[in-house]
Amino acid sequence: MTSWERLTWKEIKEACGSKESIAILPVGSVEQHGPHLPLGTDYLIADILSSEAVKKLKEEGINALKLPPLPYGLSSMWAAYPGTVTLRTETYISLVKDVILSIISSGCTNILIVNGHAGNSDALKVAARDAVEAAGKGAVAVTSVWEICGDLIDDLFETPFFHADEVETSLAMALGLRITTTPQEGVEPHRKYSEKWHSLKLRVRPKAYVYRPESAGMHGEGHFGRPDLATKNKGEKLKEYIIEGIKGLALDLIEGRF
């Protein structure tokens, strides 16, 4: 059994007593994902991929445990869309920090946070850093589903990655998420993006982060890019690549290769 919440406290104590143990915490958001994807897309993607990675780690004899996902995140940019649920930044940082401290207190000092929503990234790093400092022990790795597969995204897809687009819709198809409709071809995106600044390839993209006030209004139907180009086959390739990436990162964390 690999789900944290399905174990007893004695089973957690035993599982976390091994040096080769790791807790994986999927996080995401509940926010609009265009007219075709469910509100929980981000956390569902992170949760399903984490579950698959845990299975592979177990096959290699690793005591990998997946925690229940944290569904809510920082989604103020989509606050104008019905259904979006967002937390305040300070609330989110406190929540994640408390969860990390509880995991460490339970005896599991290797923790991997798998994030499905880019808006959470900065707060997750702060929470992880503050938690290990407060505990005086532990190692917490924070990664994003999309950062793991940046090179593959650029090689496999026709359009740049953003939100509820060709990339995310393809992965949602591969993971069996409910797709209600596909936006029509040729819909003008809310925002244009430069490949130089938007590529996930580190050798292509200089690091820069741009913020705008976005919460007050809606931006079309909420999707970007060309979700009509999404295919399950593309998503399957992305799925396997990300699962292997999560597994590899978990093993590196356990072995202290950082």
- Exposure string of 66-87, with b = 16+ CB inside 10 Å and e = fewer, is bbebbbbbbbbbbbebeebebb
Phi, psi of 31 (to 5 degrees): -155, 165
Residue 91 makes CB contacts below 8 A (sequence gap 6+) with none
Over pLDDT 90: what percentage of the chain? 71
What does the mean pLDDT of the chain come to?
90
pLDDT digits (tens, 9 = 90+) for 106-124: 999 999 999 999 999 999 9
pLDDT digits (tens, 9 = 90+) for 13-60: 999 988 889 999 999 999 999 999 999 999 999 999 999 999 999 999
Task: Tell which CATH classification among 3.20.20.70, 3.10.450.50, 3.40.50.10310, 3.90.420.10 matches the domain 4-255.
Answer: 3.40.50.10310
191 pLDDT tier (thresholds 50, 70, 90): low
Q: What is the DSSP string of 12-56?
A: HHHHHTSSSEEEEEEE--B--BTBTB-TTHHHHHHHHHHHHHHHH
- Give the pLDDT score at 145: 95
**Do residues 28 and 115 lie in contact, with contact meaning Cβ atoms separated by under 8 Å?**
yes
Residue 38 makes CB contacts below 8 A (sequence gap 6+) with 44, 177, 178
User: Whole-model pTM?
Assistant: 0.91
Would you call 107 exposed, middle or buried from its count of C-beta atoms within 10 A (0-12, 13-18, 19+)? middle
Distance CA 97, CA 135 (A): 10
